[in-house]
Structure 1
Amino acid sequence: MASLLQEEERWCRSAVMLLLDLAEMVHIYVVVVRISEFVVWCMGGRNGGGNGMGIIGDGVAQKIVRIYWASKEARPSLQLRATDLSCSGSGSGVMMPVVVKIFGLLRKQHWYKPRCQTYAKLLVMLGKCRQPNQASLLLEVMRSDGLQPTIDVYTALVSAYGLSGLLDEAFRTVNYMKIIPDCKPDVFTYSILIKCCIKLGRFNMVQQILDEMLDLGIECNTVTYNTLIDGYGKAEFFELMESSLTDMLESGTCHPDVFTFNSMVGAYGRSGRIKQMEKWFEEFQLMGLKPDIMTCNILVKSYGKAGMYKKMGSVLDFMKRRFYCPTVVTYNIIIETFGKAGDIEKMDEIFLKMKHQGLKPNSITYCSLVNTYSKAGLLSKVDSIVRQVENSNVVLDTPFFNCVISAYGHAGDVDKMVDMFMAMKDYKCKPDDITFATMIEACLAQGMIEAAQDLESEMIKANKK
């Protein structure tokens, strides 16, 4: 129950941030009372009379207003932004329609003034949520508002198409931009296009884009080079990665930054090429770049993966000397490392240290613990983790439930497995193919053929939605 209330509170705060951001984008200069009344109207109903749009209930709407009043003088203290409501975590597919609906309501207000920047930001959000059809419709809405798309809007549209896997549409949009005055594609447009090609593994198209940029006299900037270095590194195309760094250095106008640093070091670290990782760690420092907490986390993970625990410890000492405080990510990496190594005692020690440092374990932390306990056959410790989570305000996700369901399934405890499956609904976590496959396997192992068939039918039904 506590978790549901906290989730509602988080949603409300996110809704407030969305409205504040949209208000900022469309220059709504009105008194707080009008904004708060509008929130109640569009979210639930006016004065409880049910005359509003009814996106969510009046109780939640009233809470949004209270949070708004509390946050209007201290906005920086609220860290959840519009993107938390629309495109993060398990809510990405669920909350985005609400964002679009709220924007539609804003457009109907007499004080609404259409701005290209508003549409550009919404297009970026739709792209991150993989909703290209909505992005296309939004462009038409923009035109109906009497606005002509700018280069930023078209670039956001290219991103929306590209990130959704519609590369042909993305390239078609870029070609269309070329014939529009004042909307010629620039380095940012092409950088986005390169990023989309890399994400989809279409590396053969990257060189074509670079050649086109050269023909048009568009020079790569730091973002372009970093996109290339990061993409080639993740694909383990190390020669191309280093060649891109060389081009960057020889350009004379673009200089490596900490993102370049982390991309190069991370690429070699992930692939277990420790010597090259250490070499570039030193090289970038000689260039005057300082490692940040992310760099340290990359080193910790790479050494841990390679079983080089002494060097992992030396990185933690380095962090202490530089006054870098280990983050939740740092502890999660160490917990996962010792868990995979089967060193449960050390893993538990790090977990306790993490909590003593005042850091809040998250779903990833608990997944690592559950996986390790499950492999060691320590089901009582899995029970303990489940109780901890139930009594905390940690935000759970589908991967966590999959871990616990797998643990109980492999142990043959079908009842607890089913209990966790039912609990997913309470936490608003949607079962995926892994959830169903794990449960089907467990049921078959116990000779529960009919239950396995029912789950298979439910999985097919869920995938059709």
Structure 2
Amino acid sequence: MVPSHNHDSLSAHFRKDDGSSVAAQRIGENSVKDEASLDFLPLKCKFLLNSILGQPISSLRSFFDSARFELLQEVDLMSLLKGLDVSGNSDKAILLFEWVVLNLDVSNSDKLHNQIIELMVRILGRESQHSVTSKLFDVIPVKEFALDVRAWTTILHAYSRSGKYEKAIALFDFMKCRGSCPTLVTYNVMLDVYGKKGRSWDKILQLLDEMRSVGLEFDEFTCSTVISACGREGLLEEAKSFFDGLKLNGYVPGTVTYNALLQVYGKAGIYNEALSVLKEMEEKNCPPDSVTYNELVAAYVRAGFLEEGAALIGTMTQKGIMPNAVTYTTVIDAYGKAGREDKALSLLEQMKKSGCVPNVCTYNSILGMLGKKSRIEEMMKIISDMKSNGCTPNRVTWNTMLAMCGNRGMHTYVNHVFHEMKNCGFEPDRDTFNTLISAYGRCGSQINAGKMHDEMIKAGFSPCITTYNSFLNALARRGDWRAAESVILDMRNKGFKPNETTYSLMLHSYSKGGNIRGVERIAKEIYDGHIFPSWMLLRTLMLANFKCRSLRGMERAFQEFLKNGYKPDLVLINSMLSIFARNKMYERAHEMLHFIRECGLQPDLVTYNSLMDMYARAGECWKAQEVLNGLVEGGGRPDLVSYNTVIKGFCRQGLMQRL
């Protein structure tokens, strides 16, 4: 839920200081910029222009319909569009162009020519109208036009930002066949396309070789885009090798490239490597910025060091680098995932008091964590707060609401939310389809999940690793490990490499289905070095062994967890304490109790219930009662399990009358 910085970096590469698009900055420059007035417009154009300017945006389509003949048959469309743009009404120019494309037989009309297409590509690129661009060029037979490389590049960028990677690749191949020479920006866009598409490391290497062969020198965006692509796929060695190779060839990395490498380590939770990158930056006099620290915060929280990550907020302030919404949201999101919603809400208040305005990602993160705990009233307050701060819900907000509906029997609510989302003007993207597949699967509606998969393909989105993980998520909840193995097989056959989420979901499937052999197979791959032992994966492995009551498996996973320098949370330590108690390993259980405090944590109700259970099983019912009394005296609130455990302890000793 926390946004990546590389998206913005690539967009920045497309824009000049005045905000206009570099990829298309010279299209029609002389014909538009040199015109100081609208005197170039024919009389009929001026009349239509004034009529359009007099209409509110909401009425324009109706007006265009009423002036259909003039717009499609009589008027000089190029002059009219140019006039709207020059007069500062590019939004109306875009609406007019969109209306013309949808109402004209573009395949058999000469109304649209190269100059019009290039002008509108420039305007659309400058206004960052990527979604509109990609939709329009699905209709316009773009291959019939002889555009310049900047126009092609802007269209490629729009396809990339809209997730239409196959179309971008096909268009890139076509423009090269037409003899158009890609620029550095074009190649950077295509590196980004392959990076987002996934399973394309060989294609990325091929593009890099192609760039070298035509004499193009890599820039910050080339390097950061390639490294970010490695981060998405979990290709840690490839990222490090590429980075080291750059330096060997004399390239001096800048902050953007270092930040991309930090992001790779941050995603994997390898905070020690992230710290070494920061150290290298300081040694090379490369100034860290807010993004640098944001990635370092991400590395800490991914390794389980939540408080250390939160402490960096203070460090940033001391160094004169203001924490931003991304910094706070990263820690808030981590608290939510650790089940510490109140801590997350407290940090949200701290964020607002510091003058940092929460953004839509912050609110989405809070909504997601509250939704998982069904804290509906608080969710409504957050939505109200969101509205009062002028923060408009985005596609992720809707996707979060859809994900909340993913409980058995709630498929009608999924349908309702999806319908409302579309009514608000949000068309589903690939993430929406993945969320729907997962939500329907968790509702037990496999037919709808399959239907959404088909709809996704029909809408032009290719399934990705997240799509497969969405199916696995639904299967894991049912413990259907056989079906999950079939999904993994299909995934590998199609060239997808399972990631840590994939393996974690398989562990959930095996443990829910009671298949300890499956858990052991994945454990062996981790210990043999075939699967990277991330914080999340080792944590899931421990809990899977706990569910299967495998003491040996838990101990081995816990050792591996600590060996990697990860910090366990209370859930993990409680699980260790519980399994030691079940196996009458009382000294080891007490070690875990001390370890809780060593980690700066406080025992909770689960801890106390495990201790009561341990004493009750050992026949020490009085000690079990002492633990219960201590819990009450300390202000704790015992639950039904607490009382039943102590009662069972006394019953086993034939001391029921003493209660």
Report the TM-score when normalising by structure 1. Answer: 0.65
Deviation, structure 1 residue 312: 1.4
CA 1:199–1:99 in structure 2 vs 1: closer, same or farther (change >3 Å)?
Answer: farther
2:221 alignment partner, SS class: helix
Matches within 5 A, 1:88-167: 97=98, 119=121, 122=124, 130-131=134-135, 133-134=137-138, 137-138=141-142, 140=144, 143=146, 149-156=147-154, 164-166=165-167, 167=169
CA RMSD of aligned residues (A): 5.1
Q: Which amino acid aligns with 2:141?
A: L
- Map of 2:176 onto structure 1: 174
- Map of 1:396 onto structure 2: 393
Matches within 5 A, 1:231-380: 231-252=229-250, 254-380=251-377
1:290 alignment partner, SS class: coil
Whether the aligned pair in 2 keeps the contact of 1:191 and 1:227 (CA below 8 Å) is yes
Unaligned runs of 5+ in 2: 1-18, 40-45, 72-83, 460-659
Measured in 2, the distance between the counterparts of 1:115 and 1:133 equals 10
Deviation, structure 1 residue 457: 8.5
The answer to whether structure 1 residue 39 and structure 2 residue 39 are counterparts is no
Measured in 2, the distance between the counterparts of 1:95 and 1:235 equals 41
Measured in 2, the distance between the counterparts of 1:240 and 1:456 equals 35
Out of 338-347 and 424-433, give the one that drifted further.
424-433
Question: Aligned to 1:207, which of 205, 208, 219?
Answer: 205
Deviation, structure 1 residue 268: 0.9
Whether the aligned pair in 2 keeps the contact of 1:161 and 1:169 (CA below 8 Å) is no
| CA offsets 1:256-286 (integer angstroms, 9 cap, x no match) | 2221011011111111111111101110222
2:252 alignment partner, SS class: coil
Measured in 1, the distance between the counterparts of 2:415 and 2:185 equals 49
Measured in 2, the distance between the counterparts of 1:386 and 1:360 equals 15
Whether the aligned pair in 2 keeps the contact of 1:127 and 1:135 (CA below 8 Å) is no
Deviation, structure 1 residue 115: 9.1
Whether the aligned pair in 2 keeps the contact of 1:262 and 1:295 (CA below 8 Å) is yes
Deviation, structure 1 residue 365: 2.5
Whether the aligned pair in 1 keeps the contact of 2:165 and 2:194 (CA below 8 Å) is no
| CA offsets 1:365-386 (integer angstroms, 9 cap, x no match) | 3332233233334333234334
Could you say which structure has the larger radius of gyration? 2
CA 1:150–1:336 in structure 2 vs 1: closer, same or farther (change >3 Å)?
Answer: same
Measured in 2, the distance between the counterparts of 1:197 and 1:458 equals 25
Whether the aligned pair in 1 keeps the contact of 2:125 and 2:154 (CA below 8 Å) is yes
Q: Which amino acid aligns with 2:302?
A: K
Measured in 1, the distance between the counterparts of 2:294 and 2:54 equals 44
Q: Which amino acid aligns with 1:40?
A: G
1:165 alignment partner, SS class: helix
CA 1:405–1:210 in structure 2 vs 1: closer, same or farther (change >3 Å)?
Answer: closer
Matches within 5 A, 1:59-70: none
1:220 alignment partner, SS class: coil
CA 1:139–1:29 in structure 2 vs 1: closer, same or farther (change >3 Å)?
Answer: farther
Whether the aligned pair in 1 keeps the contact of 2:297 and 2:331 (CA below 8 Å) is yes
Q: Which amino acid aligns with 1:220?
A: F
| CA offsets 1:114-161 (integer angstroms, 9 cap, x no match) | 6957545647968765458448634646x5xxxxx3333344456567
CA 1:247–1:394 in structure 2 vs 1: closer, same or farther (change >3 Å)?
Answer: same
Q: Percent identity?
A: 19
Q: Which amino acid aligns with 2:224?
A: N
Q: Which amino acid aligns with 2:166?
A: G
Q: Which amino acid aligns with 1:287?
A: K
Measured in 2, the distance between the counterparts of 1:52 and 1:355 equals 50
Q: Which amino acid aligns with 1:30?
A: S
Q: Which amino acid aligns with 2:53?
A: V
Matches within 5 A, 1:7-26: none
Whether the aligned pair in 1 keeps the contact of 2:433 and 2:456 (CA below 8 Å) is no
Deviation, structure 1 residue 346: 1.4
Question: Aligned to 1:30, which of 30, 37, 61?
Answer: 37
CA 1:355–1:108 in structure 2 vs 1: closer, same or farther (change >3 Å)?
Answer: farther
Measured in 1, the distance between the counterparts of 2:230 and 2:440 equals 39
Deviation, structure 1 residue 294: 1.4
- Map of 2:639 onto structure 1: none
Deviation, structure 1 residue 215: 3.9
Deviation, structure 1 residue 240: 3.1
Measured in 2, the distance between the counterparts of 1:203 and 1:458 equals 29
2:141 alignment partner, SS class: helix
Whether the aligned pair in 2 keeps the contact of 1:402 and 1:434 (CA below 8 Å) is no
Deviation, structure 1 residue 428: 3.5
| CA offsets 1:378-434 (integer angstroms, 9 cap, x no match) | 333234334445656321134324434554664988998787566546644456546
CA 1:217–1:323 in structure 2 vs 1: closer, same or farther (change >3 Å)?
Answer: closer
Whether the aligned pair in 2 keeps the contact of 1:25 and 1:117 (CA below 8 Å) is no
Q: Which amino acid aligns with 1:275?
A: N
Measured in 2, the distance between the counterparts of 1:215 and 1:459 equals 41
Whether the aligned pair in 1 keeps the contact of 2:332 and 2:366 (CA below 8 Å) is yes
Measured in 2, the distance between the counterparts of 1:459 and 1:197 equals 22
The count of aligned residue pairs is 395
- Map of 2:222 onto structure 1: 224
Measured in 2, the distance between the counterparts of 1:320 and 1:427 equals 39
| CA offsets 1:352-371 (integer angstroms, 9 cap, x no match) | 22333444434433332233
Measured in 2, the distance between the counterparts of 1:342 and 1:176 equals 56
Q: Which amino acid aligns with 2:239?
A: M
2:269 alignment partner, SS class: coil
Out of 396-405 and 431-440, give the one that drifted further.
431-440
Whether the aligned pair in 1 keeps the contact of 2:227 and 2:261 (CA below 8 Å) is yes
Measured in 2, the distance between the counterparts of 1:42 and 1:138 equals 31
Whether the aligned pair in 1 keeps the contact of 2:64 and 2:96 (CA below 8 Å) is no
Measured in 2, the distance between the counterparts of 1:188 and 1:462 equals 30
Whether the aligned pair in 2 keeps the contact of 1:158 and 1:174 (CA below 8 Å) is no
Q: Which amino acid aligns with 1:335?
A: I
Whether the aligned pair in 2 keeps the contact of 1:367 and 1:403 (CA below 8 Å) is yes
Report the TM-score when normalising by structure 2. Answer: 0.48
CA 1:165–1:346 in structure 2 vs 1: closer, same or farther (change >3 Å)?
Answer: same
Measured in 1, the distance between the counterparts of 2:438 and 2:204 equals 39
CA 1:386–1:157 in structure 2 vs 1: closer, same or farther (change >3 Å)?
Answer: closer
Whether the aligned pair in 2 keeps the contact of 1:41 and 1:51 (CA below 8 Å) is no
| CA offsets 1:146-194 (integer angstroms, 9 cap, x no match) | xxx33333444565677531434422422432xxxxx544444444443
Whether the aligned pair in 2 keeps the contact of 1:303 and 1:311 (CA below 8 Å) is yes
Measured in 1, the distance between the counterparts of 2:452 and 2:262 equals 44
